[in-house]
Chains A and B, each alone.
Chain A
Amino acid sequence: MSAGAAVVERPSVDLAWFRRKQLRALAVVVAAVLVFQGCSMICNFSLAYAITSIPAAFVWMFQNFIPTAESFQYFSIIIEQTVSTALDSVAATVIAAVVGIVLAVLGSSSIGVEFAPVRAVIRAVASVFRNIPMIAWALLLLLSFKQNEFTGFLALFLTTFGQLTRFFLDTFDEIPGGPIEALRATGASYWQIVFQAGIPLAVADLMSWMLYMVETNIRSATLIGLLTGTGIGFVFNLYYTSFRYDTAGLVIIVTIVFVLVIEAVSNKARRSMI
């Protein structure tokens, strides 16, 4: 065979690297398949059923979710609740950012306090608050603050606070050390360093994280609203469980428009800050 002969004439090449790479890729695929199968058995999941039911689900959605003239009589309620969800997300983010920035400055490795245990405690608090499920916050606050918008805001604030503090900590950890060292060398006090070097260096990233949190919070607020009886989650569930699918569809369309507009505005703001 001519092809075989051609290979033999070439100087021998070490193919071990390629073989290892292929083996590693194969191992990853096998592992993924095994994990998937195991997990499917644990939670009774049928991939075939899931895939085959997607087309029917979409047909069902397009048949039932098209808003009718009748559903527009609820339009003002839907807009009002969507606006309140969006505003709650902004307020929770801003208040959480105020608390978060103080903790992040004190806890960061670049401009934080010298005393290491304080920094460790701040990190631990942020991590615990971030990982406590949102539903737990909502259920806890429902017992004392009852069903209203303020309860939803508080639950949202508590989760946002944990997340933003973590993002802010990462941001402050990454700021360049040069300007801080320069200020320290000129005899600047701790707070002068924070306000003249730390925050100005990080401000664009901090704002970017805040805008990201506003977007994420709209989704979280929808879920919390289901429990606290306010906002998008509440109106959607109200119409959905009373089989007024056309109105529920209108809720979804209004949500899509709102989120896309907010995303576009915040992207524009973010780009202008870089």
Chain B
Amino acid sequence: MESVRLTEGAAATVERDVLGKIRLTSSSNRNVSVQVTLVVLVALTVVTFLRMGYGTVDLVQATRQALADFWAMMAQPALDPPYGAGHFTWETVLESAVITLAITAITTVISGIVSFFLALAASENLSSPAVSNVVKGVVAIIRSIPTILWVLVFTVAIGLGSEAAVLGISFHSIAYLTKSYSESFEEIDAGVIEALRASGASFWQVVFQAIVPATITKIISWTFIRLEINFTNAVAVGAFAGAGGIGFQLYQAGSRYYNLHEVGVIVYVCLVAAFVLEFVSVRLRRRYILND
């Protein structure tokens, strides 16, 4: 029987399994690490389910009730009787949605400005290695503390109110944006910066004539992505910051009045706000990216 002979180069690249057959998938490091990661994640999941506390409820019964509750929330949203109980009016719900949006906007503006300067200090190509490492380290630590813990800390340290909510959300937001901005800054071609420096440009001239124009689209994208995340966070911490807002009403409706129809209305208001933010952010991103 005549067998096909491979050239030397081809024979070296072809991988064979234990039986000597040609492998159809490569056993490169990349594939191995994908498999290892998957196995670890699945193993951890199994461990989780084995040690998890399931409470004392009948799971089948609870599932059935949860589905009924979900139906009540999504299909029969109402503020007024018969479904609702008149705890809220449309006016109060919309007003608190506006408050939450205001907190979101303030947080994003503050964190955008602060992060811009921190990112300049964190970028390896603009700052000294020591400063860059210190800023990156501090930012990593700030980022690792969950937003809700920041908010809880500030509610006690400076008192309940919108300041606690804004500061609490801002810390995580600043850490996130500093990392994103500085990664964009570091991708800039070193030649551009060197050319400006060689022509005697000052640090701020380099920043505003080279860094900002080259990265503005990325900065805008990241900022608007964070705007959406900040809205989610502002809703989530609303119940705990004492700043009012839609999150607080949601908490009231769900855990004080136990009225899922009212929760449903608030959920729909949050959905609309989130969709509007997403729409605006996609449009703005597209416009700016096309313009530049």
Contact = CB atoms under 8 A, between A and B. Distances in A.
A26 interface: no
Contact of A207 (B38, B54, B239, B258): B38
Interface string B23-55: 001000110011011100110110111011111
A117 interface: no
A204 B38 CA distance: 11
A244 to B, nearest CB: 13
Interface string A30-45: 0010011011101111
Contact of B48 (A91, A134, A136): A91
Contacts of B51: 84, 87
Given A132-B267, A149-B53, A207-B38, A53 B163 contact: yes
B149 A252 contact: yes
Contact of A43 (B103, B167, B232): B103
Contacts of A42: 98-99, 102
Contacts of B152: 236-237, 240
B148 A132 contact: no
Given A150-B55, A219-B147, A36 B109 contact: yes
Contacts of B54: 148-150
B251 interface: yes
Given A46-B163, A140-B263, A148-B54, A61 B271 contact: no
A269 interface: yes
B196 to A, nearest CB: 16
Interface string B151-186: 011101110011100110000100000000000000
A134 B236 contact: yes
Given A147-B55, A272-B33, A233 B157 contact: no
Query: How big is the A interface, by class?
Result: 35 or more
B254 interface: yes
Interface in B231-271: 232, 235-237, 239-240, 243-245, 247, 250-251, 254-255, 258, 260, 263, 266-267, 270-271
Contact of B161 (A44, A57, A149, A218): A44
B163 A218 contact: no
A23 B20 CA distance: 70
B49 A91 contact: yes
Contacts of B167: 50, 53-54, 57
B210 interface: no
Given A144-B66, A223-B236, A227-B255, A255 B144 contact: yes
A211 B37 CA distance: 9
Nearest to B220: A28
A136 B162 contact: no
Interface residues of B, number: 82
Contacts of A223: 146-148, 236-237
Given A252-B145, A255-B146, A136 B263 contact: yes
A226 interface: yes
A10 to B, nearest CB: 18
A90 B49 CA distance: 11
B66 A145 contact: yes
A45 B106 contact: yes
Q: Is the interface of A mostly helix, strand, loop or mixed?
A: helix
Contacts of B255: 139, 142, 227
A94 B45 contact: yes
B73 interface: yes
Contacts of B245: 43
A115 interface: no
B106 A233 contact: no
A183 to B, nearest CB: 13
17 contacts: A39-B102, A39-B105, A40-B102, A42-B99, A43-B103, A94-B41, A132-B267, A132-B271, A133-B235, A133-B247, A135-B235, A148-B53, A148-B54, A232-B146, A240-B152, A255-B144, A255-B145
Nearest first, the 6 closest Cβ-Cβ pairs linking A and B are A139-B254, A148-B55, A259-B144, A39-B102, A57-B157, A91-B48
Interface of A: 32, 35-36, 38-40, 42-46, 49-50, 53-54, 56-57, 60-61, 84, 87-88, 90-91, 93-95, 127-128, 131-136, 139-151, 153, 200, 203-204, 207, 210-211, 214, 218-219, 222-223, 226-227, 230, 232-233, 236-237, 240, 252, 255-256, 259-260, 263, 269, 272-274
Interface of B: 25, 29-30, 33-34, 36-38, 41-42, 44-45, 47-49, 51-57, 59, 62-63, 65-66, 69-70, 73, 98-99, 101-103, 105-106, 109, 140-141, 143-149, 152-154, 156-158, 161-163, 166-167, 172, 232, 235-237, 239-240, 243-245, 247, 250-251, 254-255, 258, 260, 263, 266-267, 270-271, 274-275
